[in-house]
Amino acid sequence: MKVTARLSCKKNDKMGYIQVIAYHDGNQKEISIGRKIDAEKWDKNRCMAKGKEYDLLNVQINNTRRALEEAIDSRIAQKLEVNLDNVFNEVFGSPVKKKSEKKSSDISLKNFINVFIEENPDKINHCSLNSYRSLIASLHKFEENDVMLKDVNVAYVNRYYNFLLNCGLKTATIQTRFKKLKKIISTAIIRGLMTEYPFGKGKLTVPGSRNGKRKFLEDYEVEKLIHYRPENDSELRVLRIIKFNLNAGLRIGDVLTLRKSDIIVQELSTSEKIFRLQKTTSKTDTDVNIKLTNQAKQQLLDSGFDNLSANDILFPWLINADFKDEVTLFKAIGSKTAYFNKVLAGICVKLEIKRISSHSLRHTFCTSLISKGVPITSIAKLVGHSDVSTTMIYAQIVQETVDDAIDKLES
């Protein structure tokens, strides 16, 4: 099985259409993503367009390739027949249209979002489903009359963006709305239902939530926290996760679902044991591989690590019934996280340090590594960031903190 991309040019033509092509068991099938570029701008080795101006186009190419690979891999894993026609229908929703066929122009934006959700029940988790539903609800408040896909242009998305701003929504919420909207529009373009991509350079660029301040602990606050003596069992359980995650940097949902099988124990000749955490993150589906510090290892040992079986939860906040299905697990993690943050906030008040949440431990992990000179790319791999630009946010935060300290010298 192989999924790649190519530029299809007619003889003596310097321009060509980009196609994503899948090969399996002697068969092949391709789909055009609807973009035509100069042949000199195509990198045959990387199967991508050359130049920063094509970054969004390359994202579209990679998303298309990944969707096909996942669909084929899923069929192979289930020992089902891999029929490329069916795979393409599954991924793109309907048979790929030939050039002679007339493209549909009578599909509305909100209807297409609903179709997208119905077609991808196994690919949209409960959190994403809520985001798509929120997108539909906000689009209805924005304009009761549903806009047609062909009319979703730069002017439309700019008006929608201004509407969200006037609603007083936080930057992070607006960013989430537009992330889902971009996914929908990219899918519509791939299916030939739209031709214009109304985002990017020279068009609308939505400010990311990364521009907001992210809370993290300074060294003296970390010292106070890890030396705090818990006053009850709840604080003890919270403190164990705090000490662990200050040295692991996981999202709280990944911490709560950690099992003993996610920890690889390596025996050294010196009789010392190294604990290594290997896990696929739930949000970005990326693999993290972290050598645990002695402090993180000690929290596992204090939680009874040696007496656990491979499938046992390391920090037993969740019960077996919480893993019934994705929706149940999503709600259980949300409930436990809220309680964790409540207890953590109480500890912060007692210690007279800034009030933080569970995710601030992840921020602290990243900023601490940056302060110690660890390369950005290495940190991105450690915390499972699919885009290194996300990790760059923490470098900016550290620099701003240093700048603030210098400013205080002049005050």
Lowest mean pLDDT among 87-101, 176-190, 389-403: 87-101
- Residue 243: predicted pLDDT: 95
Q: How confident is the model at residue 75 (pLDDT cuts 50, 70, 90)?
A: confident
Region 8-28: mean pLDDT is: 84
Where does the chain hold its CATH 1.10.150.130 domain(s)? 106-209
**What distances in angstroms separate CA 375 from CA 175, 366, 389, 397, one per listed residue?**
27, 11, 13, 15
Number of residues that make up the chain: 411
For residue range 225-261, list pLDDT tens digits in order. Answer: 999 999 999 999 999 999 999 999 999 999 999 999 9
Burial class (CB in 10 A: 0-12, 13-18, 19+), 71: buried
Reference 340, options 225, 256, 399, 270; nearest CA is: 256
- Residue 370: predicted pLDDT: 83
Burial class (CB in 10 A: 0-12, 13-18, 19+), 40: exposed
Contact 353, 223 (CB under 8 A): no
CA distance 29 to 189: 19
**What distances in angstroms separate CA 62 from CA 33, 56, 180, one per listed residue?**
11, 10, 17
Where does the chain hold its CATH 1.10.443.10 domain(s)? 219-258+312-410
- Residue 99: predicted pLDDT: 40
- Residue 411: predicted pLDDT: 58
- Topology adopted by domain 106-209: DNA polymerase; domain 1 (1.10.150)
pTM of the model: 0.55
* Assigned token pair, 238: 């919270």
Q: What is the largest CA-CA distance in the chain?
A: 78
Q: Looking at domain 219-258+312-410, what is its CATH homologous superfamily?
A: Intergrase catalytic core (1.10.443.10)
pLDDT exceeds cutoff 50 at 224: yes
* Cβ atoms within 10 Å of 20's Cβ, excluding its own: 24
* Cβ atoms within 10 Å of 407's Cβ, excluding its own: 9
